Amino acid sequence: MKKLLLASALSLSVFAAQAADIVDTAVSAGNFKTLVEAVKQAGLVSTLKGTGPFTVFAPTDEAFAKIPKDQLDALLKDKAKLTQVLTYHVVPSKVMASDVKAGKVPTVQGKSLTVATQGGVTVDQAKVVKTDIAASNGVIHVIDSVLMPN
């Protein structure tokens, strides 16, 4: 009986770990604090907790730190512009690293990202530095710069 309870507890904890959505996965990673705050400011938490599937090209805190503080503060206060920037990082389908192909990829924002695969994968000019962080409603690929739609 004790083994059965332990096995049940372990399988539940494995299931819980796999069941985290895009937002919860980003929060638990610990290096997306600015991104998570921006998602909250833009009112996109419920969207990114939705069914998806989504592919999120997620800039780290270091990527956000490349933006001058006054510009980042202004962006975080401008909900409409912030929403445009954040939704430009989201593709409305689940694309694993093994499925990435060079070319244009439509975003939730409406414009397309340019993906290149020579010498490593880039999205617009941002390098993809970590891939395939699975979430219950999609996948996160980590990038080293914040993408700005033209």
Residue 150, domain member (yes or no): no
- What is the reported pLDDT for 25? 95
Label the pairing between strands 103-106 and 90-91: unpaired
Which helix (H) or strand (E) segment holds residue 146: the answer is none
Residue 24 counted as domain residue: yes
Q: How do residues 44-62 score in pLDDT, each as one tens digit?
A: 999 999 999 999 999 999 9
On whether residue 39 sits in a domain, the answer given is yes
SS3 at position 71: helix
Residue 46 forms part of a structural domain? yes
| Single-letter amino acid, residue 98 | S
Query: Could you tell me if residue 149 is inside a domain?
Result: no
Asked if pLDDT for residue 15 goes beyond 60, the answer is: no
55: closest CA among 21, 15, 96? 96
DSSP assignment letter at 98: G
The whole-number average pLDDT for the span 85-93 is: 97
- CATH number of the domain at 54, please: 2.30.180.10
Q: CA 150 to CA 148: how far, in whole Å? A: 6
Q: How many domains does the chain have?
A: 1
Is 92 a member of any domain? yes
pLDDT at residue 150, rounded to an integer: 81
Which structural domain range is residue 23 located in? 2-143
The count of C-alpha atoms lying within 13 angstroms of the C-alpha of 81, restricted to the half-sphere facing its C-beta, is 10
User: Is pLDDT above 50 for 7?
Assistant: no
Average of per-residue pLDDT values in the chain: 89
> How many whole angstroms separate alpha carbon 88 and alpha carbon 85?
5
Asked, for residue 12, whether it belongs to a domain, the answer is yes
Q: What is the pLDDT of residue 18?
A: 53
| 30 in a structural domain | yes
Q: Residues 67-78: pLDDT tens digits?
A: 999 999 999 999
Q: Which of 138, 64, 148 is nearest to 113 (CA)?
A: 148
